[in-house]
Chain A
């Protein structure tokens, strides 16, 4: 046991933050939102700082809670997920302090955000398949309450019910898949030996069944077509900061959880082909669904589906041919997606915050016409995010897609060219709904927009940070690749560990 107590600190800090933020919100009469939010911010900062300290150590680090039993394993993948989760969690928390999102019940809102972040951190740290599932559930249950957080709005509750029912069913299938693997190996679930064990043993049923259950189970949360139907409503009805957390963090993290589980499956089971087909389907269907959406938040929600598709497709290509560059691309897109989608949803929320008093439709593209002149920060952030999402070159979204295309092209023959063209074609297709957004933001201002105030400072900080990240990752992808490269290697080599 080469353990250091530092390994568990991010997780403990976040768990303590869950309770701390709750207590602060509950017992401080004076400005509970700020107090609860500050505690959440502090615990996220501690988690982020310790993650950075762990990054400088030699990995992997094994740690068990009381010195025995199943513990956690800090790998480059854990560092990657932890960094992304804490960064997005931090910015979302700052945003929620400044906005109305948490006003009703800050004592509940901030713990839920922290728990979702802790779940994602745990997904990275989990040393065995069952722990992975438990942390996945921590993340999922926290988001169950974030979607219908505005409980007095019927549409939000409806979206929440749809979300909870579908995802609860998905969780059941996922744990069934885990149990099949458990039966297959006769009790071995540890990622360090799972792959070898699965090759050596023949369980009661075909391993393909377990793989299917895992893909479908985690796939519901990841919104893989045809399991995506909860997503548009959930993202549209959730508070802006919760949407950013879901789109930027929770959904991609579910894909990573799925891939982490699948990385233990030995060759011979065509995981790659399955993910390729699902990914291709998801991005194409998602792009067609997003075309013609007039409500900006709903458009962004729909446009999350193709991005799930790109990531799943990238992993599929990686598994299919063992191409490292496709793994790099898929994980880089997870990182880029966090910045792009996070920034876009927060910016839409900031505009909604200012437009809250206006009558009639406030989120359609025509109602938002000209908002770029009154709220340059928010509208500029949306413009950058939308261009990056479409994959325009000097921005973050370009590199992930480029690596995925490069990986696809490595598949031999016409199939490889076809796969690459599918990704490129989808990127151009997405311009069909991203460009009207740009047109609307800087069109002729409407009457309601003409009187708008500027973006509030506390909301502008996280929005600018995410937009800055999108631009920086695009200009200097090496920053991201330092984080992504080793993590992708961990996934590619099947998490085998030789202590």
Chain B
């Protein structure tokens, strides 16, 4: 079971990495990069390095992806238009789902394979406080929604009328 998961995690990492390089669509590229990070984090965890896994998931999959998205949305190219508006929350949701999958994999697995204080910490985080972790996942998602709402005016490209970001980007889409 563990072996197959390890292989699967590595395969997903490589595939997602390839897609990230090959994709012409910025959004797809960034998303698959963060997907690769999540898969890599799963692999780290299986290999007995839970702390590295946590940081990989939080920093690489979460923070770096968000930074990419913000930088691209600042460049005012076609890509920015694609990402602005409705797509940003979609990205947030996708990230949340990816993290959720990662969390589910971690918590379902038996952490007995590894040992040490690192594991004790990870166990405290993922197993003992799983209900809080679930709540925090929702909390982060709600926070993203709140930010999306509060910055609704500013996300909109200038001079596009008064429609909300959702309606606006629907017109842009083919």
Per-position 1/0 for B113-153, Cβ under 8 A of A: 00000000000000111111011101101110110111011
B131 & A115 in contact (Cβ 8 Å cutoff): no
Q: Which residues of A contact B19 (CB under 8 A)?
A: none
Chain B: how many interface residues by the 8 Å CB criterion? 30
CB < 8 Å: which of A71, A107, A142, A144 contacts B89?
A: A107
Contact of A104 among B134, B136, B141, B164 (CB under 8 A): B164
Say yes or no: B130 contacts A145, CB within 8 Å: no
Report which of B86, B130, B145, B166 forms a contact with A111, defined as CB distance below 8 A.
B145
- With A18-B141, A112-B145, A134-B136 already in contact, the answer to whether A107 and B127 are too (CB < 8 A) is no
User: In the complex, how many angstroms separate the beta carbon of B149 from the nearest chain A beta carbon?
Assistant: 5
CB-CB under 8 A from B129, the residues of chain A are 69-70, 130
CB atoms of A141 and B146 under 8 A apart: yes
Contacts of B166 in A (CB 8 A): 26, 32, 105, 107
Q: Decide: B142 and A138 in contact? CB cutoff 8 A.
A: yes
Tell me whether A447 is interfacial, beta carbon within 8 Å. Answer: no
For the complex formed, measure the closest distance between the CB of A141 and the CB atoms of chain B, giving whole angstroms: 5
| Interface status of A482 (Cβ within 8 A of chain B) | no
Q: Mark A90-114, 1 if CB is under 8 A from B, else 0.
A: 0000000000000011011001100
Q: Is the CB of B135 within 8 A of A141?
A: no
A66 on interface, CB distance cutoff 8 Å: yes
Interface digits, B60-73 against A, CB 8 Å rule (1 contact, 0 not)?
A: 00000000000000
- Are the C-beta atoms of A115 and B89 separated by less than 8 Å? no
Residues in B whose Cβ lies below 8 Å from that of A104: 152, 164
Interfacial residues of chain A within 27-71, with CB under 8 A of chain B in the complex: 29, 32, 64-66, 68-71
B26 shortest CB reach to chain A, Å: 20
User: For A29, what are the chain B residues with a Cβ–Cβ distance below 8 Å?
Assistant: 170
Contact between B132 and A68, CB atoms less than 8 A apart? no
Which of B138, B153, B164, B166 is the most central at the interface, judged by chain A CB atoms within 10 Å of its CB?
B138
Q: A19: CB under 8 A from chain B? A: yes
User: Once the chains bind, are B146 and A105 in contact (CB under 8 Å)?
Assistant: no
Determine whether B90 belongs to the interface, using a CB cutoff of 8 Å to chain A. Answer: yes
A112 to chain B, nearest CB (A): 6
Query: Which residue of B127, B136, B142 is within 8 Å of A115 (Cβ)?
Result: B142
Encoded as 1 (CB less than 8 Å from any B CB) or 0, chain A from 339 to 382 comes to: 00000000000000000000000000000000000000000000
A71 CB contacts on chain B under 8 angstroms? 131
Q: How far is the CA of A240 from the CA of B62 in the complex (A)?
A: 36
B142 touches A141 (CB 8 A): yes
B164: chain A residues at CB < 8 Å are 104-105
Q: Is B145 in contact with A134, judged by CB distance below 8 angstroms?
A: no
Contacting A22 at CB < 8 Å: which of B108, B131, B145, B146?
Answer: B145
Report which residue of B86, B132, B152 has the largest number of chain A beta carbons within 10 angstroms of its beta carbon.
B132
What residue of chain A has the Cβ atom nearest to residue B140's Cβ? A141
Contact, CB under 8 Å: B149 / A131:
no
Our pick among A23, A131, A144, A148 for the contact of B132 (Cβ within 8 Å) is A131
User: A497 to B127, alpha carbons, bound, how many Å?
Assistant: 22
* Interface of chain B, main secondary structure: helix
| Cα A137 to Cα B127 with chains together (Å) | 21
A15 to chain B, nearest CB (A): 5
A244 located at the interface, meaning its Cβ lies under 8 Å from any Cβ of chain B in the complex: no
Q: Is the CB of B131 within 8 A of A64?
A: yes
Q: Kindly list chain A residues whose C-beta atoms are within 8 Å of the C-beta of B141.
A: 18-19, 111
Known A-B contacts A23-B93, A65-B130; the reply to A152 vs B153 at CB < 8 A is yes
CB distance from B12 to the nearest CB of A (A): 23
For the complex formed, measure the closest distance between the CB of A21 and the CB atoms of chain B, giving whole angstroms. 10
Partner of A138, one of B89, B130, B135, B148: B135
Q: Are B132's CB and A134's CB within 8 A?
A: yes
Q: Are A105 and B135 in contact (CB under 8 A)?
A: no
A69: B residues at CB distance < 8 A:
127-131
Inter-subunit contact B149/A130 (CB<8 Å):
no
Known: A65-B131, A66-B130, A105-B164. A141 touches B150 (CB 8 A): no
Contact between chains at A72 and B131 (CB < 8 Å): yes
- For residue A323, CB closer than 8 A to chain B, the reply is no
Q: In the complex, are the beta carbons of B135 and A131 less than 8 A apart?
A: yes
Pair A111/B142 contact, Cβ less than 8 Å: yes
A contact residues around B170 at 8 Å (CB): 29
Q: Of B90, B130, B132, B138, which is within 8 A of A130 by CB?
A: B132
Q: Given A26-B90, A69-B130, A71-B131, are A151 and B153 neighbors across the interface (CB < 8 Å)?
A: yes
Q: For the complex, give the distance between the alpha carbons of A26 and B170 in Å.
A: 10
Cα distance A7–B98 in the bound complex, in angstroms:
26
Closest 9 CB pairs of A and B: A145-B146, A69-B128, A65-B130, A115-B142, A134-B135, A108-B149, A134-B132, A108-B145, A138-B139
Using CB atoms and an 8 Å cutoff, list the residues of chain A in contact with chain B.
15, 18-19, 22-23, 26, 29, 32, 64-66, 68-72, 104-105, 107-108, 111-112, 115, 118, 122, 127, 130-131, 134-135, 137-138, 141-142, 144-145, 148-149, 151-152, 160
